[in-house]
Structure 1
């Protein structure tokens, strides 16, 4: 049975976590309670919220600004009469008199009229950060994550709704997740948090366990990645922008759902008048993950196979994470300087391997994260327009894999074979006997220097250095010492870019990147199947290569934008691909770097009719031609199946994605997107020109969805019970077309394994009151209880229900 069933130990951790939330809630009251409060919402003449409106109380020199929902709030106001000025470039300023009384909550909503300012000023200042990100020359989609803060989604689930994106999971909460973007997947797509690479954050801090409340917005770069992100991404990147821009806020939530799933999070920030900055992000996840599966399994010791419906019985997961940073901002020597510390831990039962046929009943893993960090920003460094940004972190945590039970389980939780029966001296494990504790110590340092010469010419230089060292120890002391020798890599990516802004309509960026990696490992150097100690030795690889590209955009009008980009991209193998991950992936130290010619052409059209009906139409064409494409391959053994990354010499991909969205005022939203990608093997002669043509030449790559899409709709009833109370009813559909699990040209046509067509229906009900301070959400995922699959037909969770409570307080002082 699961090692992680909800018991007194788990309760102990939850109690500590909830005490932390309670402490912060009480602390919030200290700056939340005041003699008088003034709040409200600012809209334009079409009824849309206006972000960034300055709200100034003249006589006491206090103020704030509206958030992206157009809301503002100012607290701790002494009793009296005040003149409040509302101002925003592109709108007529408004002055109001407000009478504040002790203990009163004053609400002042406002509709601002457009002024005759130049269109350029209006567009830049009145546009949200999410809208600005979407208007870059790069093929990028920006998601306003704040719109999802009342849901129980993690970052992976939020990203799964973006055109071109497919999140592939091996199970429920905390399961292994693979991110796929326009045919590239896994390590081919890089992740960043506030521009800092997430390569070394470990298993305690991953998109499959990070709550969406941590993010302010998500930027998905497709194909070409800006030099400022400093990476060797081949197929794109995701930049998670956190709530660090807020001065004073508190966001606390708790949710409970099916399969005994508990999630809680606290995000808080405070900035003093002297510029001292404090930020805290903490979250917790727990789940038994005991959802139903329909599968074949061995039911007795003689190997009899039957199809059964059973609950997952050994799939518990829990993790806790705290991110804290402290520093200063607004100083002559630093616009921002923070020191941070990330602390995390996780424990996970392993229910199955790479395929459903590999069933475990006792195998498990655990891990910790201890990561100090530094961030430094200085604008106008001795020269106007010259900005310096430095960051660094180092992971001191460790991981552990435990496999000491010499038995074989089936999906009913029964032991079908006991290999130690009658002789306890026979030692083994479910897959491979081990009690292995290892450190993936990984450090990252980045330096970004940007210079804006004038309105037309700007430059960026970025250097990112990454170091990795794995060393482990068999705590059973049953393996030879050569297993404990360190495996190391060091990687450096240097990039430079130049941007030319010809005018308001047209800008172009050209860039250059240099990649270097050195790897060293103690491996089987003779290549024999059953190596002895003498077959092992040190091996070293060195890679050095270059990449380059450009991105350009042109505005045919204020509503129509054209974008085009090209990159010769390069990616060197990651440490997990070279050395394995100890669990489901075995290493391949002979992997070559992969490269790709990436072309993107797209257009965005955003018309509005009578300031009431708003449309967004976004379409893009893509082409990729990859050399030495790195992809997973299955290695089947007698007891289990593992993955191994291999190079495929020539692969191309021609695809299209489209997105359309309609909004009626601020009440009704509906949108849909679809992605088609034709990822094909173009390796005609695997052994060279004189070899026989490959039987899989021209085949679509296996185990890779090639057509999928999303549809979502929501309606908001505003001021339902009282002013500031909103009810939103939402629906979401995810569709995946059927695809082959293996190569289409191999095997009998009638006996091929196919991942069937899938529809996942989700519904939610969100109620927000007191101007968004208190929020209640109810969700149903997989509404029809459909069989959903991923990763070699691994089954995803059955129907589930979730309830979330959220408290949010935002107060930005000037």
Structure 2
């Protein structure tokens, strides 16, 4: 084995040396020698290009030899093209761009940035540029929940369960992707809040429509988190300390060897929080509860090796490791010992190639092997009351369940994602995406089975899914009109062995169930730009959401297997417009977006109980209508205002129960879903406040959520309401040496409001966080 890997890597290195090419690097500045950040550098007549960093540097590693033309461009500046000859040595090329001459005619022509182009795509999309939040002492969910049409509801502090709601749909109907690949976690034991902001390039949120090019499923939309990537050496480390003994650290390192065509990188993060705040019990008036058993600990690390001078333009080998431990906090009961642990090891291989056997055919394939483990530990026979006294009447063998538990569940998944993009012409392109997933689940809990007298944890099961998406994109009228038509095939096969269980005092033997189905989905998204500042959008999708493995397999403890689950289906429609204009009404820039949406969801998967056991089943028919809007104002170079609001009404559309009787909740609001919320923020920016290369940012952000029911609104006197929340965050960020050093301080819920977002579970009050970050970039080799 070791000899094989030695030969493999030596062969690769020999190939690298034989295929060495030249590199091109340099700097882009304005005519006053100030570096231009985000400028585009492109080798004409090729697809090679780069974007400058915070110091104006760029690098292109695989530059063809011979005579080439290189173009540099930046917003508000006249582009510049230089002709050079590339030989065997490294070449340095600098650009000095002048302000576009049309400024003198009071007409400003600007080229859209890559993120701005995404915002003007046909889909209803929110793009969060991490450059605007990187360095802040906050977390991803705190940023996402302030975006238009999105609400995240948490049950506690760092590491606690949370649900993402997009246009009224939430939970597993929302697909979470990391760099376009499904989030790898032991079925909900990893939260996106654990991902440090400093590792992120941007966050894309597709509302209502899941693009077929992702090859994924979901009825409510997609959250796609894109990690940062540079073409040169860099080092980034940060540490954050805050209330409730919250500690967070992250590190990223990359070294580029351009002569060898090789890159080595490593990174990781560490999170720990006690989450030990006190609140009044939502179930017993006057009883105070301290979350004294809610500690959360997680860490992850990984390494990658990239080769970019072989036949494949990029071969990336990597491995990621994740671990967590979470104490289980009781609300109705005083839990002091039960906890859960989760782990994942993910080796992966990524291949990329342009002109893959055919000109203009781009190939990308990602293979992942996901080895997951989950442990639920509940072995204490001693039970405590909320006042700390011992409950001597309790006969349960564990603090939570009737049996003691010490599970050791394992799951092995093989995932492969193939993406082919074929550009037929400037007008037409085709994208084919195939997402394959195979999962084998092996539950085990010898302790619980010993107490029960039979195998209570379940038996091995497996499932296979294939999702194939084909998208045709058409661009007309100088790209003022864009059409994206997609079709998808959703196929899944399952083989599930049911649990042993007791029925009429007799032990029922397990049965094997097999299920196989295939269904089609389709979508259409349009964008028309009648004026350079106005974009009109419309989209429709018939979407699917395949059952998750824990819904099919159960949890081996309390939830039985459900082998015959059908996928959720929804029809989603969006209609909206986006305005983006400069120098309007005395303002530097104005952006305004509004969207109306409609969703019809059937076969909703939800957890149900027969009074003894729990299992997932297909229930319900929900119709959602609503609209959202967002306004962004760059008042001047120093002041920036932004605000948004969302109205969404989700109603039970199932008129009759399965037994034919009338449904008493028909046409009522679906409980526990916020229906009216909004956000507002103001920022003050100032450059060179403490000398050259320094930057100051002050901000205030406010969030409002109107009251809503957490159970069916049978009576207007129903006390089961989550009250109106109105909170405010303030912060300061100070950068030195052109963002190399950043210090930030943030106070969340500065007025210490009582906040409740989910099932009457109060959140922490005022919390303060301090963060220090160091970033080193080296664009010259």
Q: TM-score, normalised by structure 2?
A: 0.85
Deviation string, structure 1 residues 493-550 (Cα, Å, up to 9, x no partner): 1111111112220010111111111222222699x76774325322222221111111
SS at match of 2:552: helix
Query: Is the contact made by 1:232 and 1:569 (CA closer than 8 Å) also made in structure 2?
Result: yes
SS at match of 2:229: helix
Deviation string, structure 1 residues 462-485 (Cα, Å, up to 9, x no partner): 110112222122242615346341
Question: How far off its partner does 1:754 sit?
Answer: 0.6
1:318 to 281, 287, 297: 297
Residue in 2 aligned with 1:556? Answer: 530
Residue in 2 aligned with 1:335? Answer: 313
Q: Does 1:51 align with 2:38?
A: yes
Residue in 2 aligned with 1:78? Answer: none
Q: Does 1:385 align with 2:385?
A: no
Residue in 1 aligned with 2:483? Answer: 508
Residue in 2 aligned with 1:21? Answer: none
Residue in 2 aligned with 1:730? Answer: 699
Question: How far off its partner does 1:799 sit?
Answer: 1.2
2:151 to 166, 170, 179: 166
Deviation string, structure 1 residues 130-158 (Cα, Å, up to 9, x no partner): 11211211111111012211112222222
1:192 to 156, 165, 177: 177
Residue in 1 aligned with 2:726? Answer: 759
Query: Is the contact made by 1:146 and 1:213 (CA closer than 8 Å) also made in structure 2?
Result: no
SS at match of 2:372: coil
Say if 1:419 and 1:308 are closer, same or farther in 2 by CA, change over 3 A: closer
Q: Which consecutive unaligned segments of at least 5 residues does structure 1 have? A: 1-36, 57-62, 75-84, 96-107, 298-304, 421-425
Question: How far off its partner does 1:327 sit?
Answer: 1.5
**Map of 1:671-710 to 2, 5 A cutoff?**
671-687=642-658, 691-710=660-679
Query: Is the contact made by 2:601 and 2:622 (CA closer than 8 Å) also made in structure 1?
Result: yes
Residue in 1 aligned with 2:88? Answer: none
Query: Is the contact made by 1:579 and 1:588 (CA closer than 8 Å) also made in structure 2?
Result: yes
Question: How far off its partner does 1:205 sit?
Answer: 4.6
SS at match of 1:92: coil
Say if 1:38 and 1:225 are closer, same or farther in 2 by CA, change over 3 A: closer
Q: Does 1:660 align with 2:635?
A: no
Query: Is the contact made by 2:334 and 2:385 (CA closer than 8 Å) also made in structure 1?
Result: yes
More off after superposition, 585-594 vs 715-724:
585-594
Q: Does 1:804 align with 2:771?
A: yes
Q: Does 1:281 align with 2:267?
A: yes
Question: How far off its partner does 1:490 sit?
Answer: 1.3
1:718 to 651, 670, 687: 687
SS at match of 1:720: coil
2:337 to 362, 366, 391: 362
More off after superposition, 218-227 vs 269-278:
269-278
Cα distance between partner residues in 2 of 1:73 and 1:597: 45
Q: Does 1:602 align with 2:602?
A: no
Cα distance between partner residues in 1 of 2:661 and 2:776: 68
SS at match of 1:578: helix
Question: How far off its partner does 1:412 sit?
Answer: 4.6
Residue in 1 aligned with 2:369? Answer: 394
Residue in 2 aligned with 1:786? Answer: 753
More off after superposition, 452-461 vs 307-316:
307-316
Residue in 2 aligned with 1:32? Answer: none
**Map of 1:71-110 to 2, 5 A cutoff?**
71-72=56-57, 87-88=72-73, 91-92=77-78
Residue in 2 aligned with 1:247? Answer: 232
Cα distance between partner residues in 1 of 2:631 and 2:680: 10
Q: TM-score, normalised by structure 1?
A: 0.82
SS at match of 2:457: helix
Cα distance between partner residues in 2 of 1:86 and 1:508: 29
Say if 1:235 and 1:735 are closer, same or farther in 2 by CA, change over 3 A: same
Say if 1:784 and 1:109 are closer, same or farther in 2 by CA, change over 3 A: farther
**Map of 1:402-801 to 2, 5 A cutoff?**
402-417=377-392, 419=394, 427-432=397-402, 433-476=404-447, 478=450, 479=452, 480-481=454-455, 483-503=457-477, 504-523=479-498, 532-581=506-555, 588-609=562-583, 613-631=588-606, 645-687=616-658, 691-745=660-714, 748-801=715-768
Figure out how many residues of one structure are paired with residues of the other and give that number: 719
Cα distance between partner residues in 1 of 2:32 and 2:484: 34
Say if 1:774 and 1:487 are closer, same or farther in 2 by CA, change over 3 A: same
